[in-house]
Structure 1
Amino acid sequence: MFDIKKTEVQWGGKTLTLETGRVARQADGAVLATLGETVVLCAVTAARSVKEGQDFFPLTVHYQEKYSAAGRIPGGFFKRERGATEKETLTSRLIDRPIRPLFPEGFYNEINVICQVLSYDGENEPDVLAMVAASAALTISGVPFMGPIGAARVGYIEGEYILNPTQEQIKAGDLDLVVAATGNAVMMVESEAKELSEDVMLGAVQFAHKACREAVNAIIDLAEKAAKDPWEMAAQADLSAAKDKLKKLIGKDIAAAYKVTDKSKRSGLLNEARAKGKTAFADAAPQDQMAAGKLMKKLEAEIVRTAILKDGSRIDGRTTTQIRPIEAMVHFLPRAHGSALFTRGETQSICSTTLGTKDAEQMIDGLSGLSYERFMLHYNFPPYSVGEVGRFGAPGRREVGHGKLAWRALHPVLPSVEEFPYTVRVLSDITESNGSSSMATVCGGSLSMMDAGVPLKRPVSGIAMGLILEGKNFAVLSDILGDEDHLGDMDFKVAGTSEGITTMQMDIKIAGITEEIMKAALAQAKEGRAHILEEMAKALTGVGELSAHAPRIETMSVPKDKIRDVIGTGGKVIREIVATTGAKVDIEDDGTVKISSSDPEKIAAARKWIEGITMEAEVGKVYTGKVASMVDFGAFVTFMPGKDGLVHISEIKNERVAKVSDVLTEGQEVKVKVLEIDGRGKVRLSMRVVDQETGTELEDTRPAREPREGGDRPDRGDRPRGDRRREGGPGGGGDRGPRREGGDRGPRREGGDRGPRREPSAGGDEAPAPFAPAFLNRDDD
């Protein structure tokens, strides 16, 4: 029933399997790729005809992670996969970027590439596997794809490169680099590094390229068994005559326009030249008019590229290594926690940094489960930044990709959560764009975080490099313009500190570049980054203090067995702390407590409260408290946060107190001394031995009781024997005088004889002992 074709290869110590013919058989090409227990299905479909008037290549790549692949049910209200997550968007771009240049010029048939993660083992990452599967599916589909490409991820731990590392190895190492390449040349690079040198980064790319060749060979082996017949491409019309006609008509106008440094004026002159060229083909057929438009773009590229290669003359008159003028300033926005305005030539970014507490972290629901991110960077590219009218709304794939690139550049220099317990969000709004707004975001983001008081290890700068390649001749361009990006062959972005590279991204518009070109680009980029760092340093004078508008966060630790007391039943205590003090309080499982507020006094109040809850009361120490409640036999006083003790009526004053309410009121501030803490944690307090004005201890002037002879009780006065209850509390719990130390009730009779039992009084049975300490019978704490 199934005509299954399969190939297997040992790849990084594991078996890579590529299979076709079992599933998705109606697609033009479908490959099931397996590495370990991670399985990705990629299906390719292509339209057989081109829409009339279409003059672009509509390639669409979708990457989707099925939660069932990891045995999970999606979180949230909707229990199914919905819109693309950030990771899915980034992986879709990761697949798109290296395959797009490998379709022939003039091929405009619509193509869908859909990659779905069907199984995930938590060890082998599906994104690189999806890149290999997409390349294999295109190769066997029959569409004119000049591949295949391979892909590989590289880690770097203790001076050793690791092929396709796990997430744990990436976190433990210094590098996370993904490379896509044909058998001969590198097509795409994406990375995050912890300040590594150019040599280490270049070595990682070469190591990855070798692994890519192994994947390419596996795809070729599968294609030899299962590839469909290649499509027949229509012969391209000879347009040389039309090109010569346009060159004579508007060639000089285009050359003159590209000598104007101002982008707006240059664009105006180019539009006039294009309009002049269109008039020459006004009476031609629609297809010829469309072809003329393409020819004008080729003519522009030819003029610009020739000038650079022959004369070293760039569009704005700079040399190949020269950086545009830079202006940087911090504290651009008065109320933001940190802000910066970074301008390089006609590219400009307003970056703002906001500091938050732990509850502002971003929750991420993915195949690996729930995770939390404390650093976010969001990039916006409004249409006015390039002087155009366009859609303004939710960020597209480009914005997500550019923001993640800047995130990777800045993430390695962030302080640890122990050093800086804040959630950090950087927002980049591009207000002008003419080349490398993502690298402007890196520079502006670094400045704005330092303005907010984030203790970065070092400032980070970024630069975009370009390439003009004709045969064996090439020129690497520093700090490329937008037009140089469009008309050139490479977009190579490098960011880092004075100590090394933190991110490197490369996209190629031709069939790959060589090691020689990449080495030259890295060396030239290093010089450019150093120059930009020098310009940034001019704006950093006085930066370093935490913003006055940012919340302060203080960290303290409580014993694990006290976490429950700080939180309280159902969170009652911690909510009361927050509501009363106005500070935010976060407590973690290890006992770490983070207290945050923009007001230091609120933090101090919350800290004191928590310290009071976790501290143990000391016998003999004087505390200031408030009367929480009153009962007939005394008053309960909150003398430490969350801790109450009983001041018995006999311990309020030295003289006899008839009613507690005659002396105390609820909420009254009093000073008390801890007399005793029993085995159950119940606390007995005294007011009478403390000066209520100064809080100093007083000498206990109450006469001590004489020991009872024969165990007789002290004289009870003239009370009738029938009424043994004292005034002042349940059962007459009146004034007993000072309690004997240690609870001693006098010498016990030998053999335990308490003397002759008294006869029942005239008033009835004898009442129970009035003070068996009543506060021990209190139900609450």
Structure 2
Amino acid sequence: MNKEGKSRKMKKEIKKSMELGGRTLTLETGTMARQSAGSILLTYGETVILVAVNASSSPREGLDFFPLSVEYRERGYAAGKIPGGYFKREGRPTEKEILAARLTDRPIRPLFPEGFRCETQIFINLLSTDQENPADTLGTVGTSAALMSSDIPWNGPIAAVRIGLVNDKMVLNPTYEQIVDSKIDIVVTGNEESVIMIEGESKEASEDEILSAVQYAHEAIRDIIKFQKEFCSELSIEKREFDISQIDADLETKTIENIGSRMADILKIQDKGERKDAQSDLTNEIIEAMEEEFPEQDGEIRKLVTAQYKKELRSNILKGIRVDGRAMDEIRPISIKLGFLPRTHGSSLFTRGETQSLCTITLGSKSDEQYVDDIDGEFKKKYMLHYNFPPFSVGEIKRYLGLSRREVGHGNLAERAL
């Protein structure tokens, strides 16, 4: 019995391999994490990861978003190391683990069916590392196979590969040593038809080189997806059914009638604050007007008004009309104030339209380098970029519980760009 109180059939053990980039990629199921809805033991070279996926049997009430969490964890034993510190065990996720989790989260999230609200968790565990093959892209491949082998509804499969350019030759899934000498280091994720996501960096590579790398990556992605389908064809997989809450047709019709042409008038307001207030006033007015006929439907009415706002906004953009009155080739006003803070080593306040960024720089000594004890090797960082996105920056009130994954991810992108 699982924690949802339902028994699961024991999956038969299946193991298949393929050649990928001069190494063997192996998928196994039914070997570990047998109580999970889907689990895959993936081996590439001597790097081994275990991916387990699970979803609750019923949706969480009152949610208007899909509750998905993706966790990537590395353990010291994977490289034959004992963690440092007093407790000699791993603590909270490192920056590397957060970035690896986001690398899998972003491409898989949009592929869950609309309206699926069952809480879903994906756990990627690095069990062994040969300290040659990066495990981040393997997490995406393993997750895709695990979801395909589970009863969780998902519109996959997908695959991810890393591409390098060493001595003017494309390298599929380069080793850590090859990445150091590579002109290109990009991760490409896609399905059979198209590329879903590209992330990476290069050393002044040309557009043709980047395009060739993406095309080369997509060929390998198709091969991996074909392999996943062959692997899952031996499993008896029956995807679960789920109910999608439907909005009452009369409620939708009456709401749209009450909106009338007023949404178009709201979208003519160029000031963002005034426009937001006008939309809020319209929403409250419609809720009050429909209270007697449709009691306790505030949430659904708000969704319908927001949907109509987005529909009108998209229609205007397709006509070449932007919400703030700018031409399609016109950028927002830009201003820069240097030396904004008196006692920092360097500072500036960058403003573009209504978006602002306060930037500071601090010059330290050799002793200020960050020592990173990673399972794939120890190194020091002399350049660090920290990105912060406090809730007040968008006029919202939220609990601020420290650094978010988004802040880590965006900071890493900026750090690599600079």
Please give the TM-score of this superposition, normalised by the length of structure 1. 0.50
Indicate conservation of the 8 Å contact 1:4/1:19, yes or no.
yes
Q: How does 1:342-491 map to 2 (within 5 A)?
A: 342-410=350-418
- Output the CA distance in 2 between the equivalents of 1:75 and 1:196: 39
Distance 1:227-1:17 versus aligned 2 partners, 3 A rule: farther
Aligned partner of 1:256 in structure 2 is: 265
Q: CA deviation at 1:274?
A: 2.1
Distance 1:285 1:365 in 2: 58
The reply on whether 1:124 has 2:125 as its aligned counterpart is no
Q: What percentage of aligned pairs have identical amino acids?
A: 46
8 Å CA contact 2:116, 2:244 repeated in 1: no
Change (3 A) 1:160 1:244: farther
Partner of residue 50 from structure 1, selected from 53, 56, 59: 59
CA distance in 2 between counterparts of 1:161 and 1:324 reads 40
Query: How many residues align structurally?
Result: 408
Q: Which has the larger radius of gyration?
A: 1
Asked if 2 retains the 8 angstrom alpha-carbon contact of 1:178 and 1:189, the reply is yes
What per-residue deviation string (whole Å, max 9, x for no partner) do you get for residues 459-513 of structure 1? xxxxxxxxxxxxxxxxxxxxxxxxxxxxxxxxxxxxxxxxxxxxxxxxxxxxxxx
Q: How does 1:18-29 map to 2 (within 5 A)?
A: 18-29=27-38
Q: Which moved more, 1:229-238 or 1:39-48?
A: 229-238
**Distance change in 2, residues 1:156/1:318 (3 Å):** farther
- Does residue 1:79 correspond to 2:88, yes or no? yes
Q: 2:70 touches 2:102 (CA, 8 Å); kept in 1?
A: yes
Partner residue of 1:673? none
Q: CA deviation at 1:290?
A: 3.8
One-letter identity of the residue aligned with 2:50: L
Query: Which of residues 329, 343, 347 in structure 2 aligns to 1:335?
Result: 343
1:293 match: secondary structure: helix
Q: Which residue of 2 aligns with 1:152?
A: 161
Q: Deviations over 1:715-744 (max 9, x none)?
A: xxxxxxxxxxxxxxxxxxxxxxxxxxxxxx
Q: In the TM superposition, what is the alpha-carbon distance from 1:346 to its structure 2 partner? A: 0.9
1:141 — aligned with what? 150
Partner of 2:121 in structure 1? 112
TM superposition shift of 1:281: 4.9
What does residue 320 of structure 1 align with?
A: 328
Preserved CA contact (<8 Å) 2:18 2:24: yes
Q: Are the equivalent residues in 2 in contact too, given 1:41–1:116 (CA < 8 A)?
A: yes
Matched, 1:37 2:46: yes
Report the equivalent of 2:203.
Answer: 194
> How far apart are the structure 2 equivalents of 1:221 and 1:320?
47
Structure 2 counterpart of 1:277, one-letter code: I
Structure 2 residue aligned with 1:615: none
Shift of 1:393: 4.7
2:174 aligned to which of 165, 190, 205: 165
Q: Is the 8 A contact 2:38 2:150 kept in 1?
A: yes
The structure 1 residue matched to 2:229, chosen from 202, 215, 220, is: 220
Structure 2 counterparts to residues 604-683 of structure 1, below 5 A = none
In the TM superposition, residue 176 of structure 1 has moved relative to its aligned partner by: 1.4
Q: Secondary structure at the match of 2:234?
A: helix
Q: Distance in 1 between matches of 2:40 and 2:405?
A: 25
Cα 1:222–1:230, aligned 2, differ >3 Å: closer, same or farther?
Answer: same
1:308 alignment counterpart: 317
Q: Judging changes above 3 Å, is the alpha-carbon distance between structure 1 residues 366 and 302 closer, same or farther for their aligned structure 2 residues?
A: same
Contact 2:334 2:352 survives alignment (8 Å): yes
Residue in structure 2 matched with residue 279 of structure 1 by the alignment: 288
Q: Residues 249, 25 of structure 1: CA spacing in aligned structure 2 closer, same or farther, 3 A cutoff?
A: same
Cα deviation code 1:118-139 (max 9, x no counterpart): 0100111111001111111111
Question: What letter corresponds to residue 363 of structure 1 in structure 2?
Answer: Y
Indicate how the Cα distance of structure 1 residues 194 and 240 shifts in structure 2: closer, same or farther if over 3 A, else same. Answer: farther
Shift of 1:280: 5.0
**Deviation string, structure 1 residues 99-133 (Cα, Å, up to 9, x no partner):** 11001111111001000000100111111001111
- Contact 2:159-2:191 within 8 A present in 1 as well: yes
- Mapped contact 2:351–2:357 kept (Cα < 8 A): yes
- Structure 1 residue 236: Cα displacement: 5.7
Separation in 1 of the partners of 2:254 and 2:84? 62
Q: Residues 19 and 98 of structure 1: is their aligned pair in 2 closer, same or farther, counting only changes over 3 Å?
A: same
- 2:100 is the alignment partner of 1:91: yes
Residue 186 (structure 1) shift = 1.7
CA distance in 1, matches of 2:47, 2:77: 12
Whole-angstrom distance in 1 between the partners of 2:285 and 2:375: 55
| Whole-Å separation in 1 of the counterparts to 2:412 and 2:299 | 36
TM-score, length basis structure 2? 0.92
What is the match of residue 7 of structure 2? Answer: none
**Structure 1 unaligned runs (5+)?**
411-781
Which residue of structure 1 lines up, in the alignment, with residue 276 of structure 2?
267
Which 4+ residue blocks in structure 1 deviate beyond 4 angstroms? 238-241
Contact 2:11 2:34 in 1 (8 A): no
Residues 231 and 346 of structure 1, relative CA distance in 2, 3 Å threshold:
same
